[in-house]
Each structure stands twice: as structure tokens, then as C-alpha cells.
Chains A and B, each alone.
Chain A
């Protein structure tokens, strides 16, 4: 149950695109197409942004997209907006109704 690996921070200017990576193992990210991404603003609850690697829940802007290759998943945010500044966490199903999260990435909109 080791945490998935994410960059500590990323940044971008309004209108630009940023990509956040999430690296796991064949027991989690690489073994299942069940990667999710969560957005968390300070002092708030996490919000589901992407599930099943690349699906968006209703209400999530299509500026948010997800992908996966091997043991690494990625979240791309295009057309950055000020309100996108937050912490982002990846998560993967790891079998037997267990989950593992990444350490989180702080997104700064310059």
C-alpha cells in the first residue's frame, strides 16, 4: 500500500495547459483502468474530477482530461483558469476494495 508518486508542484499561466503525472505499479495504476483524480481547495473536501482514467463526471469542465500509459497516469488541464489553483490527488484501485492515493500536487496559476 505505498503511495502513488506525484510531483509536489506544477504551475502555469492562465490559458496555458499543465499536466500532472501519477506513477504507481502493476498492482495498482498499471493493473486496473480505475484511476481517479480529485481536486481539493484549502479547507475543503476533495472533488472527483476524473474517474476510470479518462471519464468526467457531469459538471466537470472538458478542460480536464485524463490518460494512462503503463504504470503512469496523467491529468491534463487546458485553458488554465484562476479557480483551477488547488491540490490535485490521483488515486488508483488496488484490488480487494482497497485504494491508494498519490501524495498530491499543488497547482499554482501564475
Chain B
């Protein structure tokens, strides 16, 4: 079964750091681009970051603070989040970029990040 499982969310103080993980299974992880999408409480979806093989791309709202990375040997995607702000509070989803298509066809269940003092 194709599956993505996020972990690492929690409560962190403003200015703090957190690293999210996304464990992939059931497919050839290394050939897919991977994406982080977040959803603030009661709000819509927001694209955060994309990683292809090594190239990375991030939304202006997180550029310079968040770093997306991957370990293909562990079938795992990461999101290192630094200098966290209250507005980063959200459910963070990892998603698989559909192969050679510009959409996200597999999603994890999400992990919740709360930035608060």
C-alpha cells in the first residue's frame, strides 16, 4: 500500500525550531518529487516547499527559515523549521508529486505544529 506518514509535530515557542519527518512506503520514493503543504486552523491549503532529486523550492513565507530535504536510503522526507512564528501554526502534510505530472496524488495524514509561548 502506498503510504506517507508524518511525525515530529508538537508545541514550540516562537523563535524555536522543529524538524518534521515523512516516512514513505509502498512506492519507489527516489523517483518522485515530494512536497510539504500546510493548513492553518480553519484555513485553506498553502504550498510550503518542494524537493526534486536535490533541487529545492520554497514559498516566500518560509524562505530562509524552512529547509526541505530527503534521504532516499531511508525513504524519508524532512522539513527543518527554524525561527518559528505564530503564523506557522498549522497541520503540515507531506505529499507525493504525481510522476511527471504537476499534482499531488498521495498525501499523509498530517502532523500538527503549534507555535505559542
Question: Are A102 and B44 also in contact (CB < 8 A) when A34-B102, A46-B107 are?
Answer: yes
Chain B residues near A51 (CB-CB < 8 A): 98, 101-103, 105
Q: Which of the four size classes fits the interface of chain B? A: 20 to 34
* B10-18, B19-27, B54-62, B69-77 - interface stretch: B54-62
A45 interface contact, C-beta 8 A: yes
Chain B residues lying within 8 Å of A52, measured Cβ to Cβ, are 101-103
What is the CA–CA distance of A3 and B103 in the complex, to the nearest angstrom?
Answer: 16
Stretch at the interface among A10-18, A71-79, A93-101: A93-101
Contacting residues, chain B, for A38 (C-beta < 8 A)? 45, 104
| B residues neighboring A (CB under 8 Å) | 33, 35, 37, 44-47, 50, 52, 55, 57, 59-61, 93, 95, 98, 101-105, 107-110
